Amino acid sequence: MVHTHIVLISAPFQGVINSVIQFAKNLKRMGVKITILSSVSAQNRMAKASSSTPDGLTFVSFSDGYDDGLELSDNLEHFRSENKRRGSKALSELIKASCEEGCPVTGVVYAMLLPWVAEVAREFNLPSAPLWIQTATIFTLYFHYFNGYGDLIKKICDDPSCAIELPGLGKITSHDLPTFMLPSNISSVGLQGFKEQLDALNAEVNPKILVNTFDELESKALRAIGKQYLIAIGPLVPSAFLDGKDPSDNAFGGDLLQKSRDYVEWLDSKPQSSVVYISFGSFFNLQLQEMEEIGRGLLESNRPFLWVSRVLADGEKQEDKLSCKEKLEKQGLIVSCCSQVEVLSHPSVGCFVTHCGWNSTLESLVLGIPVVCLPQFTDQPTNAKLLEDEFKTGVRATKNDEGIVEGDEIKRCIELVMGDGEIGEEIRKNAKKWKYLAKEAAKEGGSSHKNLRAFVDEIEDGFQ
Ligand code: UDP
């Protein structure tokens, strides 16, 4: 029997890396041999220059010309073409070498928006599938945009008071759309990249997309565009927080960001469910004015808080410029980085003020933490809508006319979520419900576990 050997290809963003590594660990538990191919910058984050980690995952890297990492200000078009050119060569070489070494690659899974991978896999007659690390809802929205509903979606952008309903999705206004779909961004790399990815999938006889979600969470969106198209295999969160069988799998393997450990001791000293945790993900930086407002909201809420404020590229710490820094430091702790899953699983944390990146969203659900949503861009507004209207585990803060969420609004939202009122109780009850359902989906025999097993079986059959 041929041993199943899957090559996973990651993009160099922390959110993607975390999902890819977690996915790799899940496959490995099913007895699949895994090789992770990524650019040098992604690999530097994943496994410091070693060829293999304690998890037994093998890493191979290639230079895409952005070895020090990609910044939001870089030319994304150039990055994409270099990543494709150099990545295609590296993947071909890896596949050939695997045959010579007697453990041939039998399938390829790649982070979505690297559609060149599908072309290389086809050349070698190998089955391939993208790993979509956003919601099934976003995938479905994009899909509808290019399949008959583009004009309708554009219409709501022109009239923000107008709502539409699309197959598999609830009511949507322009406020809920991913920012890549807004008129100001309509020709953006994000939407174009998605179109290229769809074209690559259309060239497949039996297209499959693995989605970091679970059946119970997005049942309608998952079924909206075809029965076998979207396959839910999430949540991709360290398994210690799901089935608990492997307590050592309690952090993302690629999480090599510099972090201090002081915050754990600080969290230990706080009462149960008392702490507000604030983070805006791995690459987004707030404007100083937005930070001032968050600071004001936190001071007025008078609750202990742990705030991740990223160090800027030039080494500058934005919090040093805050007018209320001294007062803030008496009430809470500001750190430049932390292990978010560790923080969210700490008993003293009672609320997560989040930008609603999909990983952060899933982590809040898996760990049963209610949220205050401050979405910024990309898929975050849609995730905020899901959190507030569908999962009902949080509230979305309202921006003022200048597009800023004011301190009073932040305080109001925190009180709504953490306070004694009926809304807070309902939100906390829903958060517990999703925590339970996420574990059910991930455990052996649960929906995501079964879906992944079936996918591996199909890889073994070459997607016949
Ligand atoms: N993360 C972390 N520590 C931090 C900031 C982020 O562990 O200080 C992790 C977080 O747990 C999540 C990922 O980085 O898994 C961020 O992904 P998300 O999709 O939420 O946001 P993005 O960074 O892509 O905007």
Q: Got the DSSP string for 122-179?
A: HHTT--EEEEE-S-HHHHHHHHHIIIIIHHHHHHHHH-TT--EE-TTS-EE-GGGS-G
Nearest atom in ligand 1 to 283's CA:
23
Q: Is 18 in the pocket of ligand 1 (CB under 6 A)?
A: yes
CB distance 237 to ligand 1 below 6 Å: no
Distance 195 CA to ligand 1 centre (A): 26
User: Which atom of ligand 1 approaches the CA of 18 most closely?
Assistant: 15
Which run of H or E residues covers position 294? helix 288-301
Sequential pLDDT tens for the chain (464 residues): 558 999 999 988 877 888 998 999 999 999 999 999 999 988 877 754 333 454 678 889 999 888 888 776 778 788 888 999 999 999 999 999 999 999 999 999 999 878 899 999 999 999 999 999 999 999 999 999 999 999 999 888 888 889 999 999 989 999 999 988 887 765 566 788 888 888 888 888 889 999 999 999 999 999 999 867 899 999 999 999 998 888 888 877 544 455 567 899 999 999 999 999 999 998 888 999 999 999 999 999 999 999 999 887 777 888 899 999 999 999 999 998 898 999 999 999 999 999 999 999 999 999 999 999 999 999 999 999 999 999 999 999 999 999 999 999 999 999 999 999 999 999 999 999 999 999 999 999 999 999 999 999 999 887 76
Sign of CA dihedral 211, 213, 214, 216: negative
Which of 282, 307, 341, 361 to mutate for ligand 1's pocket (most ligand atoms within 8 Å of CB)? 282
Q: What is the ipTM of this complex?
A: 0.99
Q: How far is the CA of 360 from the centre of ligand 1 (A)?
A: 6
Query: What is the Å distance from ligand 1's center to 179 Cα?
Result: 19
Residue 14 near ligand 1, beta carbon < 6 Å: yes
Q: Widest CA span of the chain, in angstroms?
A: 66
3 state SS of 299: helix
Q: Which residues of 147-176 are buried (b: 16+ CB within 10 A; e: fewer)?
A: eebeeebeebbeeeeeeeebebbeebbbbb
Ligand 1: which residue has its CA nearest to atom 22? 281
The CB density around residue 383, as the number of other CB atoms within 10 Å, is 29
Give how far Cα 106 sits from Cα of 4, 8, 34, 451, Å: 6, 11, 10, 19
Which atom in ligand 1 lies closest to the alpha carbon of residue 380? 25
Ligand 1 centroid to residue 337 C-alpha, Å:
10
Strands, DSSP E only, in 367-450? Answer: 371-373, 394-396
Q: What are the strands of the beta sheet with 333-335, ordered from one edge?
A: 333-335, 305-308, 275-279, 349-354, 371-373, 394-396
363 lines ligand 1 (CB under 6 A): yes
What is the pTM assigned to this prediction? Answer: 0.94
DSSP string, 300-312: HHT--EEEE-PBP
Task: Please tell me the distance from the alpha carbon of residue 286 to that of residue 284, in angstroms, as a whole number.
Answer: 7
36 pairs with which residues across the strands?
8, 59
Grouping H, G, I as helix, E, B as strand and the rest as coil, residue 374 is coil
CA 440, 446, 449, 452 dihedral sign is: negative
DSSP assignment of 72-92? TTS-HHHHHHHHHHHHHHHHH
CA 18 – ligand 1 centroid, Å = 8
* Coil, strand or helix at 327: helix
Distance CA 18, CA 24 (A): 10
